[in-house]
Every structure is written in structure tokens, then in C-alpha cells.
Amino acid sequence: MTLTTHDDTAVLETIRDAIDSANAGKVFGQPIVQGDVLLLPVATVHGGGGGGSGTGPQADGHDAGGAGGGLGVTAKPAGLFIIKDGKVSWRPAVDVNRIVLGGQFVAVTALLVVRAIVKARGRRRSRK
């Protein structure tokens, strides 16, 4: 059994608009021309969604029902195509946040390893 309400149309329209906005025009930015050089920005776009509906047991004379939906879209810069003299080159975007997070992960792991080594040496010395 499908639950239909007057809000279903608005939810479906919102989802359609979001899906329509995630097209190739969002992946490739507007070209930038400087002299004889053409710059074409590129992004990665990811999305996903879900929805639901439901009915359940009616308790205390109340009508049971349900509805729901969700959609998420993210876009991150991927890099830049540089077109000059008929040759194309690629310059990737640098994600500084990812580099910092990776450095923090390595530092925490190194500290935990050093701590384990120091504890192990301390136990050996106390046995002697």
C-alpha cells in the first residue's frame, strides 16, 4: 500500500530539481581565456538519495502514516585543464585539509607506537 499526500508532489519536484542541477555543466566550470591559453576548471560531483513511506498499526484511534526523503550532493574541485597551442595539460587541485588530516593521523600513530615501545622497554628493565 502506498501512502500519498499532497506533499509528495513537492518532495518529488525538489528531488527532480536537485538531480537536474547535477549535470556536466556543474562538473566543468566556465572556460577562462587569457591570451592564447584556455583554462577549464573541473570538479567531482557525488550524490545520493533515498526515500520512504509507511503505515503502521493504528493505536488509540490515531491514523498511522509516514513519509520521508533525503538527498545529498557534494562537489569538490578536482583540477584544471590547461589548453595552450593545441596541447592539453592537467593540474590537479591540492586539498590542503586532506593533507593536514593525513599528517595528523601519521603523527598520532607514531606517538602510539613510541609509547608502546617505551612501555615495553620499561617492563624489560624492571624484570632485570
Q: State percent of the chain over pLDDT 70.
A: 73
Quick one: pLDDT at residue 1?
37
Q: Are 42 and 79 spatial neighbours (Cβ–Cβ below 8 Å)?
A: yes
Same domain for 9 and 38, yes or no, is: yes
Tens-digit pLDDT profile for residues 37-80: 999 998 888 777 777 776 766 666 666 677 777 777 777 888 99
* Domain with 64 in it: 1-93
Quick one: pLDDT at residue 104?
96
Same domain for 74 and 102, yes or no, is: no
Q: State percent of the chain over pLDDT 90.
A: 28
CA angle 13, 66, 68 (to 5 degrees): 40
Alpha-helix residue ranges (DSSP H) falling in the chain: 7-21, 24-27, 96-127
Starting at the edge strand found earlier in the chain, the sheet holding 37-53 runs: 32-34, 37-53, 67-84, 87-92
Residue 17 in this model has a pLDDT that exceeds 90: no
Count the Cβ atoms, other than its own, within 10 Å of residue 89.
9
- Cα within 13 Å of Cα(68), Cβ side: 8
Q: How far apart are CA 19 and CA 34, in angstroms?
A: 33
Same domain for 36 and 79, yes or no, is: yes
Same domain for 20 and 81, yes or no, is: yes
Same domain for 22 and 41, yes or no, is: yes
pTM here is 0.50
Same domain for 78 and 107, yes or no, is: no
Quick one: pLDDT at residue 56?
67
Tens-digit pLDDT profile for residues 93-127: 888 888 999 999 999 999 999 999 999 888 888 77
Quick one: pLDDT at residue 33?
92
Same domain for 13 and 42, yes or no, is: yes
Same domain for 66 and 17, yes or no, is: yes
Same domain for 63 and 34, yes or no, is: yes
